[in-house]
Chain A
Amino acid sequence: MFITCQNITKSFKKGDQIITPLQALTLDLEKGSFTALMGPSGSGKTTLLNLLAGIDSPSSGRLEVAGTDITRLSRSQLGAWRAQNIGYIFQLYHLVPVLTAYENVELPLLLQPLSAAERHKRVCTALDLVALSDRAEHFPRQLSGGQEQRVAIARAIVADPPLLVADEPTGDLDAASAKAILQLLRQLVNDLGKTIVMVTHDAKAAAVADRILHLEKGQLVSDI
């Protein structure tokens, strides 16, 4: 399996209360699959996504992603692991406002021992893939929401990570832009063999996925 979660629990203290967004969750995901995570607010979808992306760590349980037990990695090791294995797509894009589209896409490549020419080639390929080559020198404020999200997708795929995680990638977009983004994600799975895990509230968006998981109160309630 590409992703294996065994009895994953995540809990934290908030004031006097102990919050447990994920409780003893067990889950396997195959390489090259497109999975949608659905559920009401507070069901643990984003927590699970963050755990898979290695930006948060579980309180207990075992979590293996792309052949690595990431619960055993230190903060720095997790950073290096994310650079190789994860492409994160945010709902609000989170592009760096003072950098151009090209420079935003280039960010993950700065962590790799590549020549400037090789980086240029890869950034151009990624921007080409999201059909934004003509906007390379634009700053995020000069782009529409849909274009910003496409730049964010280019940034997520430019280092060629095997796993893409997307937190409501169409949540802030109009219907047409959302459709284009979903098509693009589907294309990444079909053409490039990426594994995608996407959090969404939207049933239409989820329909693009191969598998739909429903979470409620930190537990998996359905697997379609």
Chain B
Amino acid sequence: MITLNILKLSARLTWRRRFGAMLTCIGVASGAFLMTVIETMQGTLTEATSLKPEDRKLVVYRENRFCPFASRLPDAYTARIARVEGVAQVIPVRVIVNNCGTSLGVITFRGLPAEALPGLKLKLIEGSLEAFGQRGDSAVVGQRLAQRYGLKVGQSLDAAGIRVSVAAIVSADEAKNEDVAYVKLDFLQQSTRSLGIVTQFDVLVKEGFDLKVVAQAIDTELHGGQEPTQTRPEKVFVAQMARRLVELIEFTRWVGLAAVAAVLAIVANALMIEVRGRVKLNAVLMTLGYQPGHIRLIVLAEGLALGLFGGLFGLIAAWLFLHFGRFSLSTDGVTLAFQTSPQRLFLVCGICSLLGLLAAVFPAMVAARQSIVASLSAER
């Protein structure tokens, strides 16, 4: 009960000097914002590139090629790949991007047979999937891409020399699949004067088969063909294709650490100033019978509150930024769509609270150690 009373007192003292507390919270919120964005980028990268036992997808690409413009494989490979033991499904895909370099907001066209569309488990938001099958230049557009460019059903999308009509807008289980315009393979091949040519094959492996073994079997099967291939699990393919993104995003880890240090310094500095300004108040409280442990608790609770609320403000701002900004980073036709998760938000909130608490340890010790008599006669 006494601890609760003291926590309430700490909250009251913090609230009554809310202008100063708010400034500290804004500082913490800025750090938390940065941390959330970086944590989201890191998390997205980890999810996109870390192979899991349940993963069943392979990507067949032209050997020694690292750009969709350079990977040219004959679509006749489809039947040969399908014959390899362990292969459940093969989808020939032509990928065309308006920018092959590392960039934000790249438009990616994925050309695939119309019958392969239901297998992508896309959820219709607007328009009609039947229209996709009826008209040659129709496209099914992922909602992230549609929202970024303000696309509506019936409008045209013109990029990379390709002009399509938006037949439907869809959502998908994975954010990266919402950042793509799906078009018919033959239309895309015609538009790019590459009939019979695809960029890659997306292969689904049967359960119980080892991905690497099947990948090797595919490459062995196509070894004597006109274009040699390199088959990799989808996430390994993404990790290798997006290596520039990986380097870039891994660099941001340092920025994240700087944000952590900033939060720590901001709270510690604010609390040290506060503790120094409250020398007399703490001495009065101790005269009234507050023990050093009570004074420590007041300062620690204040640090925790500043960290917690600053963190909350920051992560709410970051969530709004990422949710409505729908940012994605692309390179060589591989897209990483940044999407935060409740776990990441809780993690950042927890880190900020912990940092607030840690930052308060030294000021709390200073406050509790002060001499009552000397503090009562201090100038401030």
**A, B in one complex:** yes
Question: In the complex the two chains form, is B16's CB within 8 Å of A79's CB?
Answer: no
A3→B340 CA distance, assembly (Å): 67
Q: How far is the CA of A103 from the CA of B8 in the complex (A)?
A: 12
Asked whether A79 lies within 8 Å of B289 as measured between CB atoms, the reply is yes
- Check if A207 is an interface residue, CB within 8 A of chain B: no
Report whether A55 and B13 are in contact in the complex, using a CB–CB cutoff of 8 Å. Answer: no
| Contact, CB under 8 Å: A76 / B292 | yes
**Which chain B positions have C-beta within 8 A of A141?**
none
Q: How far is the CB of B140 from chain A (nearest CB, A)?
A: 60
Question: Which of B9, B287, B376 makes the CB contact (< 8 A) with A110?
Answer: B9
Q: Once the chains bind, are B290 and A79 in contact (CB under 8 Å)?
A: yes
Q: Which of B152-207 contact A (CB under 8 A)?
A: none
With beta carbons under 8 angstroms apart, the residue of B1, B280, B373 that contacts A94 is: B280
Q: Which residues of B contact A99 (CB under 8 A)?
A: 12-13, 16
B42 to chain A, nearest CB (A): 41
Q: Which residues of B contact A55 (CB under 8 A)?
A: 286-287, 372-373, 376
The answer on a CB contact under 8 Å between A86 and B289 is yes
Which residues of chain A have C-beta atoms less than 8 A from B288's C-beta?
82-83, 88, 107-108, 111, 155
The complex places the Cα of A94 from the Cα of B292 at a distance, in Å, of 19
C-alpha spacing A50/B12, complex, angstroms: 29
- A117 contacts the other chain (Cβ, under 8 Å)? no
How long is the Cα–Cα vector from A75 to B6 in the complex, in angstroms? 19
- CB contact under 8 A between A76 and B1, given known A55-B373, A98-B17, A155-B288: no
Give A81-117 as 1s and 0s: 1 = Cβ < 8 Å from B's Cβ atoms: 1111010101000101011000100011011110000
* A80 within 8 A of partner (CB): yes
Give Cα A108 to B5, complex, Å.
Answer: 11
Query: B286-299 interface mask toward A, CB cutoff 8 Å, 1 = contact, 0 = none?
Result: 11111111100000
* Interface presence of A53 (CB below 8 A): yes
Partner of A111 from B12, B287, B289 at Cβ < 8 Å: B289
Question: A residues within 8 A CB of B9?
Answer: 107, 110
B280/A79 in contact, CB under 8 A: no
A56 at the interface (CB under 8 A from B): yes
CA distance A84 to B288 in the complex (A): 9
Specify the main secondary structure of chain A where it touches its partner. Answer: helix
Chain B residue with Cβ nearest A86: B289
Once the chains are docked, how many angstroms separate the CA of A112 from the CA of B6?
11
Q: Give A98 to B284 CA distance when docked, in angstroms.
A: 14
Residues of chain B lying within 8 A (CB to CB) of residue A108: 288-289
Q: In the complex, A198→B152 CA distance in Å?
A: 83
Interface string of B249-293 (1 = CB under 8 A from A): 000000000000000000000000000000011001111111111
Chain B residues with a Cβ closer than 8 Å to the other chain, count:
26
Q: B2 near A: Cβ within 8 Å?
A: yes
User: Are B291 and A79 closer than 8 Å at their CB atoms?
Assistant: yes
Count, chain A residues at interface, CB 8 A: 28
The 0/1 profile, CB within 8 Å of A marked 1, for residues 7-25 of chain B is 0110011001100000000
Complex contact A111–B292 (CB within 8 A): no
In angstroms, Cα B13 to Cα A99, docked, is: 8
B2 touches A84 (CB 8 A): no
| B289 A98 Cβ-Cβ under 8 A | no
Smallest CB–CB gap between A75 and chain B, Å? 6
In angstroms, Cα B373 to Cα A133, docked, is 31
Question: Are the C-beta atoms of A56 and B372 separated by less than 8 Å?
Answer: yes
Q: Identify A82's interface contact among B2, B5, B8, B287, CB under 8 A.
A: B287
In the complex, what residues of B have CB within 8 A of residue A94's CB? 280, 284, 376
Chain B, 212-249, CB within 8 A of any chain A CB = none
- The 8 A CB mask of B320-334 against A (1 = contact, 0 = none) is 000000000000000
Bound Cα distance A107, B290 (Å)? 9
In the assembled complex, the CB of A142 is this many whole angstroms from the nearest CB of chain B, namely 14
In chain A, residues 107-131, which have Cβ atoms closer than 8 Å to a Cβ of chain B? Answer: 107-108, 110-113
- Tell me the minimal C-beta distance from A45 to chain B in angstroms: 14
B290 touching A111, Cβ below 8 Å: yes
Residues of B near A107 (CB, < 8 A) are: 9, 285, 288
- Measured in the bound complex, the distance between the Cα atoms of B376 and A50 in whole Å is 11
A204 to B17, CA, bound (A): 41
B57 to chain A, nearest CB (A): 61
Query: Chain A nearest CB: distance from B98 CB in Å?
Result: 59
Provide the bound-state CA to CA distance between A108 and B6, in Å: 11
A94 vs B281: C-alpha distance when bound (angstroms): 8
27 contacts between A and B (CB under 8 A): A50-B373, A55-B372, A55-B373, A56-B373, A75-B292, A76-B293, A80-B291, A81-B289, A82-B288, A82-B289, A83-B290, A86-B287, A86-B289, A90-B284, A90-B376, A94-B284, A96-B13, A96-B284, A98-B16, A99-B16, A107-B9, A107-B285, A107-B288, A108-B288, A110-B5, A111-B288, A112-B2
**Shortest Cβ-Cβ A-B pairs, 3 listed:** A83-B289, A79-B291, A98-B16
Can you add 13 more A-B contacts, CB < 8 Å, to A53-B287, A98-B16, A110-B6? Answer: A55-B286, A55-B376, A82-B289, A83-B290, A84-B289, A86-B289, A94-B284, A96-B284, A98-B12, A98-B13, A107-B285, A111-B290, A111-B294
Q: Name B's A-contacting residues (CB within 8 A).
A: 1-2, 5-6, 8-9, 12-13, 16-17, 280-281, 284-294, 372-373, 376
